């Protein structure tokens, strides 16, 4: 039982929020209350949790020695010895094979997207994560694939390309913010934990954050205007987006958070309230035509 619990911890179930973007196509295409579409997206979400969890296992296996030097990662099941490497390797093979097998029965196009994600993150674990700037782009690409999977598994008619841009830029923002906070927290040990920290500097990461943050807000603004000309009230959701990114910047610069975006999103009450209010506002505009 302890080994099973350790395996589940290694798969990072708390990071389910990253996979929630698969619902974007469903929600923004107005199919939230279509039972068949909701069921297909729900299954897609579960499959993504399994596949993403497998990637975390592989990452921890590859980085086990470096993680033992990390102030926080050293407590994970693999580097701390709670999870045997043999069990982790078996799970890393069996889980994705089973998940892809199920996916082929449901939607071959979805299986192709999931295989693309597996290939991307295997490249990330072995090479891309050691390439400055490309490493954060690879992370953002993973989020884009999540959005694409939510579109290919159901038939959508009104999903705007601007949402792809917004999602990609937001993921890039969170990835850069995580790099920035880790660089601060690790201090002198940063270069021993991640090769790219020999090239990343705080001024560079701050400039990258400004650029990506500006692009994110602009892309979302264009979405509200271009994709929904018949629903000008969608513009009312922009203040919630602005507050959300500003709150995240506050948490990062003032409270020293941002090293774990999933924890920030779930643990900061003002940010969580803002996300809920944004969601309510979006649903009201799209489904009630307010």
pLDDT of residue 118: 93
- Mean pLDDT, the chain cut into blocks of 10 residues (290 residues total): 84 85 91 92 94 90 78 80 86 92 91 94 87 93 93 86 91 92 80 81 93 94 81 89 94 83 83 95 87
Distance, first Cα to last Cα, the chain: 51
- Assigned fold of 1-157: Tetracycline Repressor; domain 2 (1.10.357)
Cα gap 268→158, rounded to integer Å? 33
The pTM assigned to this predicted structure is 0.88
| Pick from 174, 194, 154: nearest CA to 71 | 194
- 65-72, Cβ contacts within 8 angstroms, sequence gap of 24 or more: 66/192, 66/193, 66/194, 67/193, 69/189, 69/192, 69/193, 70/186, 70/189, 70/193, 71/185, 71/186, 71/189, 72/185, 72/259
pLDDT of residue 125: 82
| Pick from 29, 24, 96, 107: nearest CA to 58 | 96
Cα gap 97→113, rounded to integer Å? 14
Cα gap 60→55, rounded to integer Å? 9
Cα gap 57→73, rounded to integer Å? 13
CB 261 within 8 A of CB 223: no
Cα gap 279→285, rounded to integer Å? 10
| Pick from 197, 186, 216: nearest CA to 70 | 186
pLDDT of residue 115: 94
3-state secondary structure of 132: coil
Q: Where are the chain's structural domains?
A: 1-157, 160-290
């Amino acid at each position: 039982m302890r080994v099973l619990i350790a395996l589940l911890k290694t798969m990072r179930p708390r990071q389910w929020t990253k996979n929630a973007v698969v619902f974007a196509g469903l929600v923004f295409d107005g199919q939230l209350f279509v039972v068949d579409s909701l069921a297909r997206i729900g299954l897609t979400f579960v499959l993504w949790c399994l596949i993403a969890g497998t990637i975390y296992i592989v990452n921890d296996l590859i980085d086990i020695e470096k993680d033992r030097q990390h102030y926080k990662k050293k407590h994970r099941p693999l580097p701390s010895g709670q999870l045997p490497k043999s069990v982790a390797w078996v799970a890393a093979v069996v889980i994705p094979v089973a998940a892809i097998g199920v996916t082929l029965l449901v939607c071959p196009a979805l299986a192709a997207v999931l295989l693309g994600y597996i290939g991307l993150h295997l490249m990330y674990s072995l090479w891309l994560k050691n390439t400055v700037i490309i490493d954060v782009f690879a992370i953002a690409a993973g989020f884009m694939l999540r959005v694409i999977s939510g579109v290919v598994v159901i038939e959508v008619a009104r999903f705007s390309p601007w949402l792809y841009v917004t999602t990609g830029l937001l993921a890039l923002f969170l990835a850069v913010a995580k790099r920035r906070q880790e660089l601060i927290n690790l201090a002198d040990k940063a270069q021993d934990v991640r090769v790219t920290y020999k090239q990343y500097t705080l001024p560079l990461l701050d400039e990258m954050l400004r650029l990506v943050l500006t692009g994110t807000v602009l892309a979302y603004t264009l979405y509200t205007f271009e994709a929904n000309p018949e629903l000008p009230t969608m513009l009312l959701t922009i203040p919630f987006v602005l507050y959300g990114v500003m709150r995240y910047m506050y948490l990062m610069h003032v409270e020293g958070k941002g090293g774990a975006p999933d924890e920030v999103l779930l643990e900061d009450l003002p940010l969580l309230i803002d996300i809920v209010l944004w969601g309510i506002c979006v649903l009201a505009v799209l489904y009630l035509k307010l």
